[in-house]
Chain A
Amino acid sequence: MSIGVGTRWEPADEEALEASLIAPTARLGVRKRIRTLKNKLMGYGLMFPAISVFVVFFYVPAIYLLYISFFHWGILSSATNFVGLKNFKTLFSQPLFWHSLVTSVYYTVVMIPATVLLALGIAMLLRAGMEGKRGGFFRGAIFLPHVTPVVATSIVWVWIFNPRFGLANFLLTSLHLPALGWLESQTWALPAVMIDSLWHSLGLYVLIFLAGLANIPKDLIEVARLDGAKRHRIFYRIIWPLLSPTTFFVVVLSTVNSWQAFSQIYTMTGGPHGGAGGPAFATTTDSLLVYQTAFTYLHFSLASAMSLILFLIILTLTLIQKWISDRVVFYR
């Protein structure tokens, strides 16, 4: 549009002018919105693979587990009946369920302090005496069991704990100590599994403690020495408090791992040949019973209810640990 000499100014032209002025701004707004939308879609698109894996393999089974724990659910039948809390009532009336809980508690209560003490002790030794290449070798050697498959190494441990020709009893008798029944004994079967579990998991915890120890400045130890503190005092007044975030992390991790321990128990006490959890249910922990209830006895609803209880126990323990940590753990 041009406004030349002799051209009359008309309202229509004014509207057109206004439209032409507004239009680019409006177009800009739309473009911006499209761009934002594109960015958002791009973001969701990039997150989709990771989220979908998480949803499919974690949230869906978890929610479905919650759902079937309130139903009578058969793997082969399509008939599912809502039974309310009946599964839980059945569980609570079963002595084996309570026995498995006690076994799990026993396992956890021994494993946590044993893990912390051994891992911290080894980490302190590695830190004190082995710097450089030698330290690297020992760190590797300690971590190695953790990267081996649990099932494979558990089979080796079955041999070690063989009461007749196993290495464990050979060592005991060489020290003039009585031989033990190990996996064939109701008393010693669980400790045998614990030894295997400790051996297998210790490397990871040692590494975590080494990282924690490396975070404590050397100056603090030196200044404490100049302050006249002996080794034990330096440990419990300086190292232990400053290491508390690491210790807390190890305790939480080993609690969860202990409650969920399965492969080593299953392999060492029966495996695919049946009879896992024996002798006489001495090694039947909660997680093993969940597996057996579901896949041996095919009571999926009961197993789901049991898993839910296991989940709630671990959650409660973690929350308690968190509550304690807020009061005890020192974060710099």
Chain B
Amino acid sequence: MARVTLRSISKTYGTDKVVDGVSLEADEGEFVVLLGPSGCGKTTTLRIISGLENASSGDLLFDGVSVSSTPPEDRNVGMVFQNYALYPHMTVSQNLSFGLESRKSKKEEIRKAVHEVCELLELSHVMTHKPKELSGGQRQRVALGRALIRQPSVFLMDEPLSNLDANLRERMRSELAQLHRRLRITTFYVTHDQGEALTLSDKIVVLNDGRIQQIGTSDEVYRKPANSFVAKFIGSPGMNLLDLEPLMISGMLEHGSISGLKELLHGQGADLSNVLLGIRPEHLELNDNSSVVTLYCEIQSTERFGSHNQINGLLNGDKDSVVVAKIPPDVELNTTDTVKLYAPYRHLHFFEKTSGNRIEVLDK
């Protein structure tokens, strides 16, 4: 297990800056998830850690020692690829032992390690099978086993669950979590699935356009998004972001709170016309329980999810202000109905419109 430090890592292809000054640290045994939309630079960052890609600038350290110029074969990292990348011409046990043979381990040790990994990952009955004879879940486990068998100091996973169907993905996710709890290997996990990120991680690194947007626990990125991008990206669906000033003018914000809010925002040096109000869909309610925000929404569509219904509406019928809310499944609402949606004070977020940065005004 190693402590991994990235210092201002950048990667440029031609004029395209894919990773832009990424600095972060993963403690020994920590599970770090790199989360972001497609093309945000998360896979490139992972490949830089593995050594398959060289950073254009910056430094990478394992346990305080720079490994920037160490070739991947000497970094002792294990990696699981999105499509598993199993050697198709080798059996499961050959796939597993390849790495140890490459490092010239003793035959007896290899045999023992293969058996242990097969037992750990429930692969003992398919050891002589070739990858094409395995199910998706088994392939996934072989890929995991191949990376684990060498006892790597850093474990890298590039969207390892994205090729599995929904049920299997959930099962493998919990297996991964268990495995990590047992082995405590420093892990970097790339995904665009926030469900995976929120459940697996010790630490989430949200990336966009090659830059880190926020580093924090799953609780932090959900409850205190550092900027409007994180607010919109985390959560399913993402946070509603509405211009604050029109809401104040149209009286959708409770009178009593307006003056206080104005003061607080001014205190932060924020210009009211440059502030976005953020409310998560799950925090909008149909009942008024000491709320400070009341949104008048014209319903455009309703989607049923079983556990809840999701309504998509327009604020005051304005086509540019879409509001999404999660409501209890037993409430029947029709399209074109106008509903009042309430939000309590503690669930409000504020962001600067131009920079997107969070404005910390409320002690929640």
Contact of B150 among A222, A224, A225, A228 (CB under 8 A): A228
Residue B52 interfacial (CB < 8 Å): yes
Which interface class (under 10, 10 to 19, 20 to 34, 35 or more) fits B?
A: 20 to 34
- Contact present for A237 and B132 (CB under 8 Å): no
State the main secondary structure of chain A at its contact with B.
helix
* Interface-centre pick from A223, A233, A332 (highest chain B CB count, 10 A): A223
Distance of A229 from chain B, by nearest CB (Å): 4
7 A-B pairs closest in CB distance: A227-B99, A219-B85, A228-B102, A229-B102, A330-B89, A223-B85, A228-B103
CA–CA, A219 to B87, complex, Å?
Answer: 10
Given pairs A226-B77, A226-B78, 4 additional interface contacts (CB within 8 A): A222-B52, A224-B87, A227-B146, A330-B89
Q: Which residue of A lies closest to B83 (CB)?
A: A219
User: What is the interface of chain B, defined by CB distance below 8 A to chain A?
Assistant: 50-52, 71-75, 77-79, 81, 83, 85, 87-89, 98-99, 102-103, 132, 146-147, 150
- Contact present for B81 and A219 (CB under 8 Å): yes
- Contact present for A226 and B88 (CB under 8 Å): no
Distance of A87 from chain B, by nearest CB (Å): 48
Q: Which residues of B contact A220 (CB under 8 A)?
A: 85, 87
Contact of B132 among A217, A219, A226, A332 (CB under 8 A): A332
Contact of A224 among B51, B77, B98, B132 (CB under 8 A): B98
11 CB < 8 A contacts A-B? A220-B87, A222-B72, A223-B85, A223-B146, A224-B87, A226-B147, A227-B102, A227-B150, A228-B99, A242-B88, A332-B132
Number of chain A residues whose Cβ lies closer than 8 Å to a Cβ of chain B: 19
Q: Which residue of A lies closest to B77 (CB)?
A: A226
- Contact present for B81 and A223 (CB under 8 Å): yes
Q: Which residue of B lies closest to A229 (CB)?
A: B102
With contacts defined as CB atoms under 8 Å apart, how many contacts are there between chain A and chain B in the complex?
63
- Contact present for A233 and B102 (CB under 8 Å): yes
- Contact present for A225 and B52 (CB under 8 Å): yes
Contact of A225 among B73, B78, B88, B132 (CB under 8 A): B73
Q: Which residues of B contact A224 (CB under 8 A)?
A: 87, 98, 102
- Contact present for A229 and B132 (CB under 8 Å): no
Q: Which residues of B contact A332 (CB under 8 A)?
A: 88-89, 132
Distance of B363 from chain A, by nearest CB (Å): 47
Q: Which residue of B lies closest to A234 (CB)?
A: B102
Distance of B94 from chain A, by nearest CB (Å): 9
Q: Which residues of B contact A237 (CB under 8 A)?
A: 98
Interface positions, chain A 290-332, Cβ under 8 Å from B, are 330, 332
- Contact present for B85 and A229 (CB under 8 Å): no
Q: Which residue of B lies closest to A222 (CB)?
A: B52
Contact of B50 among A226, A229, A238 (CB under 8 A): A226
Mark each residue of chain A from 228 to 249: 1 if its CB lies under 8 Å from any CB of chain B, else 0: 1110010001100110000000
Q: Which residues of B contact A223 (CB under 8 A)?
A: 79, 81, 85, 146
Contact of B85 among A217, A228, A230, A241 (CB under 8 A): A217
- Contact present for B79 and A228 (CB under 8 Å): no
- Contact present for B98 and A225 (CB under 8 Å): no
Q: Which residues of A contact B50 (CB under 8 A)?
A: 226
